[in-house]
Amino acid sequence: MPTDMRLSICNPAVHGGSMKVCFIQADEMGITKLQVVEFHTCAGSEPETLQRLSKGLTAWVQETDEGKDAWDNSSSSFNISDLLACVDRSGTPVASLRPYLEKEGILRVKNLFLVTDADQANYDRILAAPPEL
């Protein structure tokens, strides 16, 4: 019997899907960065995905030299941009990080897009007038 039952039950290659998460940085003027990331995971929600991600990253930072270096390079504030520096274009984590994320049911972390310093408009703003009758 596997020692980590959750890993055998939560296998993203078998039970997984993708979860898109939007990371937002804002100041008093509004949104300054908007980063959308796709996680290939067996997690069923955004909170569960981030909990699993944090658990895997924390173990990696504490247990590996590469993780400790990534932590130091992040100015001790490892965030989404630091994580994305540790994955390739397809979303595959660096070799030392991969088993830590896989143990938490995360196979890939793919950067979909980043928007910085964009002007903002209300999503529900009406952009067209009704046709004249």
pLDDT at 120: 75
Q: At what angle do helices 46-63 and 65-73 cross, to 10 degrees?
A: 110
> Which sequence spans correspond to the domains of the chain?
5-116
DSSP state string for 37-59: EEEEES-SSHHHHHHHHHHHHHH
Q: What is the pTM of this model?
A: 0.79
pLDDT digits (tens, 9 = 90+) for 68-116: 999 999 999 999 999 999 999 999 999 999 999 999 999 999 999 888 8
| Whole-number Å distance between alpha carbons of 126 and 50 | 34
Query: pLDDT tens, 42-69?
Result: 888 899 999 999 999 999 999 999 999 9
